[in-house]
Structure 1
Amino acid sequence: MNAGLLVSGAVAALFASVLPAQHSPSGISDPPPDKIVIDVATVNGSGCPLGTAAVAVSEDNTAFTVTYSEYLAQVGGGSSPTASRKNCQLNLIVHVPQGFTYAVASVDYRGYASLQPGASGTEKASYYFQGSPNTASRTHTFQGPYDDNWQATDATDWAQLVWAPCGVQRNFNINTELRVSAGASAPSATSYMTMDSTDGDISTIYHLAWKECPRN
């Protein structure tokens, strides 16, 4: 991993969510015993400038952690027009143990929003494997007045999971976006939305499903 990406700050954990194989006709399996290795190919976006995002894998092979420290969208109060929308694209190289594949089953996003009356905040996320035409995208909107933690969950039915191709290395892309609109009620008042919580810890949880690849 690029040492320049190692930062302290908000933490997003991606936990493995599994179903016992005997209960699923699609071959859902427990997480593989071997370690997952994740490298950051690229990290780009106004919400994750250089040196403010990093990825690490947990020791028990059930999670990988994305760390952010400057992910905030804001309007009003003299904010720059470009500050109203922030985004981050992570291009990850996921080295999965041989014989296994994975899919993103659901994602839990959490953060904090301070929205004036009439203002709104939007969180959007997209997920896709490099070279795949299948892109999963979800959007969640919060209306002002709002001054509290927020949470949003993206969920995919098991039958509609998009699995990483077996035996082929395809980078996994995670695109997230925060957007804040001032609205007409108080256009000059400050409204903002962050991808973190009040104690500074981000807690975006990506639940993964695992299954064994077909044997040749």
Structure 2
Amino acid sequence: MAGRVSRSVSSMAAMAALLLLALMQFAIHGHAASPPPGTVKIEGFSYNGDGCPPGSAEGSVSDDARALTVMFSKYTATTDAGNSGLRRACTVTAVLSYPQGFRFHLVDVTLRGYAKLDAGVTGTIQTSYYISGVKGTARARRVIPGAFDDNFEYTDSFAAAVYSECNSVRNLQLVSEVRVSPAKPPKSGLLTIDSQDLRLTEVFAITWESC
């Protein structure tokens, strides 16, 4: 899904970059049937955070109801802005419409992208989800240590399962954070997604459970 990402790095500076095309695939596993094709839709979609300014995110659900995709076009953390730029985060609120008799939970998140990190620089991607009105938050975390300069694909499982309620549609909250931790002595670092050649994508793979 992610194309090859290239980025020039000045030979005059020690540059570390974590360029994320993070395809976050949250599997929703369960028993037996899934909702009929085309019956699961996003009825509401909103987002907030310094990693996702207005107009920079969009969401969709696959026809087979097994993938909820969220794409960001501007998601940047960098040492160039001082301490204030080292971390960026975004919270997405999705309201799913689906037939009665089903519930789901998110199992894992798949991250795809490109990282360029100098030795001693660390890139971290944290994801979590919760469902409004339902107890519990599920979390996953990926740490990419430098030196690293390559495309990557990781799948990380959530430590716990948070189930939606049967026959009750509530807001699904998808929370992500990207961070660059510079080395000592300081080295520059960049974690960025832009609208031209870099994209952070979260694909929440859905398997349904009858209830």
Task: Answer whether contact 2:23 2:110 (CA < 8 A) is retained.
Answer: no
Shift of 1:97: 1.3
Matches within 5 A, 1:142-181: 142-156=144-158, 161-181=161-181
- What residue in structure 2 maps to residue 6 of structure 1? none
Task: Answer whether contact 1:127 1:174 (CA < 8 A) is retained.
Answer: yes
Look up the equivalent residue of 2:162 and give its one-letter code.
V
What stretches of structure 1 of length at least 5 have no aligned partner?
A: 1-9, 19-26
Distance 1:201 1:86, change over 3 A: closer
Percent of matched pairs sharing the same residue: 33
Matches within 5 A, 1:17-32: 28-32=31-35
- What residue in structure 1 maps to residue 85 of structure 2? 83
Task: Answer whether contact 1:129 1:170 (CA < 8 A) is retained.
Answer: yes
For the residues of structure 2 that align with 1:17 and 1:128, how far apart are their CA atoms? 13
Look up the equivalent residue of 2:72 and give its one-letter code.
Y
Q: TM-score, normalised by structure 2?
A: 0.77
- What residue in structure 2 maps to residue 48 of structure 1? 52
For these two proteins, the number of residue pairs brought into alignment is 189
Is residue 113 from structure 1 mapped to residue 115 from structure 2 by the alignment? Answer: yes
Shift of 1:123: 0.6
Distance 1:11 1:105, change over 3 A: closer
Distance 1:66 1:210, change over 3 A: same
Q: TM-score, normalised by structure 1?
A: 0.76
Look up the equivalent residue of 1:204 and give its one-letter code.
E
- What residue in structure 1 maps to residue 100 of structure 2? 98
Shift of 1:156: 4.6
Distance 1:166 1:47, change over 3 A: same
Shift of 1:154: 2.3
Look up the equivalent residue of 1:190 and give its one-letter code.
S
Pick aligned residue for 1:129 from 122, 131, 136: 131
Pick aligned residue for 2:204 from 181, 203, 206: 206
Q: Secondary structure at the match of 1:112?
A: strand
For the residues of structure 2 that align with 1:172 and 1:71, how far apart are their CA atoms? 21
Q: Secondary structure at the match of 2:198?
A: coil
Q: CA RMSD in A?
A: 2.7
What stretches of structure 2 of length at least 5 have no aligned partner?
A: 1-20
Distance 1:102 1:29, change over 3 A: same
Task: Answer whether contact 2:69 2:201 (CA < 8 A) is retained.
Answer: no
For the residues of structure 1 that align with 2:132 and 2:49, how far apart are their CA atoms? 18
